Amino acid sequence: MNIITGSSRTGKSAIIPIIDYCLGADKCTIPVDIIRNACEWFGVLFDLDNEQILLCRKEPGSRSSTNEMYFSRDMIVKVPENIESNVTTPQVKNILNELFSMSFLDLDPTTSNFSARPSYRDFMAFIFQPQNIVANADVLFYKADTSEHRQKLINIFPYALGAVTPHVLAARQEIERLRKEKDKLTRDLNNIKDVAENWKQEVHSWIARARELGLTTYTWNGEDSFEQQIYQLRLIAQKGEEESIISANNVKDVSEELTMLRKEEQEVSSKLFASQKRYSEMKQLSNSVGQYDHSLQIQLNRLDAASPVK
């Protein structure tokens, strides 16, 4: 742990924002006036195990931030006298994510609630403890004062602790892919079932129509397979107009079927009428209860108003 101390107005509060800004922060929070007026570029030299990395970012001026950055990586990095941008902020983020071996898989593929792939930027909350965080009893982590950063912190915590590994993320990704594939296959299966059911109904109607015209004596008994019905339709399709024989049995069968359908229609109509009547009665009862409740409320209000008089 490194603790930054010093006299007042010596730039202590600018160190953390400068490091954060050079590490690709979305917004420059470096204090204005003296420091920002005196600097055209801000930079941080990182000394790693076997190399050094220099990250510099241009002072944004009146803007909240800028994507102009300078990146250098070598065994020993020499800070140039004149800095010119050679990389953008998104490119630096990709380089550092790869350098820190961050997973390319989403933390939670089932939701979009700040659960995208982890980034080194998510770990900034564990690195810095500015004075305002230290003095705040209700906040423990850097930039956890907004709902967005709090949710990101909640999502990244298991990954930061090692409880969720890249292997687990890959397994979650595969589970989500299989779930989506299963849902798609289920929808396709339901669509096929609907089409098949509509086709069966259409076959029934064509057979009934053919029986009316005397082209067949076949009657579906509810047990014949769909293939048998298709076979009957093929036989019907091979017949000509001269082969139509309208018999009394055909007319009788059609008449009985029509009578049965009309009877079913009447039963459905009766049930519908009874349900509509029941619905109207329940609606009237509900309105009456509402009016009665309103009346009771008025009486209670009057009693409350009369209580002080008593």
Report pLDDT for 253: 66
Q: Which of 6-20, 186-200, 228-242 has the highest mean pLDDT?
A: 186-200
pLDDT at 49: 85
Q: Tell me what the pLDDT averaged over the chain comes to.
A: 82
- State the pLDDT at residue 40: 93
Per-residue buried b or exposed e for 177-200, using 16+ beta carbons within 10 Å of the residue's own CB:
eeeeeeeeeeeeeeeeeeeeeeee
pLDDT in tens, 84-133: 999 999 999 999 988 887 765 555 554 554 556 778 887 777 788 777 77
Is the pTM here over 0.85, yes or no?
Answer: no
Handedness of CA 16, 19, 22, 23 (dihedral sign): negative
Better-scored residue on pLDDT, 108 or 66: 66
Among 66, 74, 42, residue whose Cα is nearest residue 55: 42
Could you tell me if 100 and 118 are in contact, meaning their C-beta atoms sit under 8 angstroms apart?
no
Is pLDDT of 72 > 90? yes
CB count within 10 Å of CB 143 equals: 19
Of 43, 46, 45, 53, whose CA–CA distance to 22 is shortest? 43
Percent of the chain at pLDDT exceeding 70 = 86
Lowest mean pLDDT among 90-94, 219-223, 306-310: 306-310
Q: Which of 56-70, 90-104, 187-201 has the lowest mean pLDDT?
A: 90-104
185 has a pLDDT exceeding 90: yes
Give residue 247's pLDDT.
61
Helices within the chain (DSSP H only): 12-22, 34-38, 89-99, 124-127, 131-134, 147-161, 166-212, 226-237, 248-306
Spatial strand order of the sheet with 41-47 comes to 41-47, 52-58, 68-74, 87-88
What pLDDT, on a 0 to 100 scale, did the predictor assign at position 243?
A: 65
Q: How distant, in Å, are the alpha carbons of 19, 110, 128, 193, 196 from that of 187? A: 51, 19, 49, 10, 14
Which tens digit of pLDDT belongs to each residue from 2-53? 787 888 877 888 898 999 999 998 899 898 888 888 899 999 999 988 899 9
Rounded to whole angstroms, the Cα distance separating 274 from 231 reads 43
Structure tokens at 292: 């009665």
Collapse the DSSP code of 123 into the 3-class scheme (helix H, G, I; strand E, B; otherwise coil) and give the result: helix
Q: Which amino acid is at 5?
A: T
Coil, strand or helix at 43: strand
Evaluate whether 232 touches 218 at the Cβ level (below 8 Å): yes
- Secondary structure (H, E, C), 65-90: CCCEEEEEEECCCCCCCCCCCCEEHH
**CA pair distance 197, 201, nearest whole angstrom:** 6
Q: Parallel, antiparallel, or unpaired for β 68-74 and 41-47? A: unpaired
**C-alpha–C-alpha distance, residues 42 and 23, integer Å:** 11
* The pLDDT of residue 188 is above 90: yes
The whole-number pLDDT of residue 248 equals: 60
C-alpha gyration radius of the chain = 39
pLDDT at 84: 93
Q: How confident is the model at residue 199 (pLDDT cuts 50, 70, 90)?
A: confident
Rounded Cα–Cα distance for residues 50 and 74 (Å): 9
Q: How far is CA 160 from CA 61, 241, 289, in A?
A: 35, 81, 58
Q: Of 111-115, 151-155, 157-161, 299-303, where does the model show the most confidence? A: 299-303
Q: Is the dihedral of CA 286, 290, 295, 300 positive or negative?
A: positive
Can you tell me the mean pLDDT for 242-250?
63
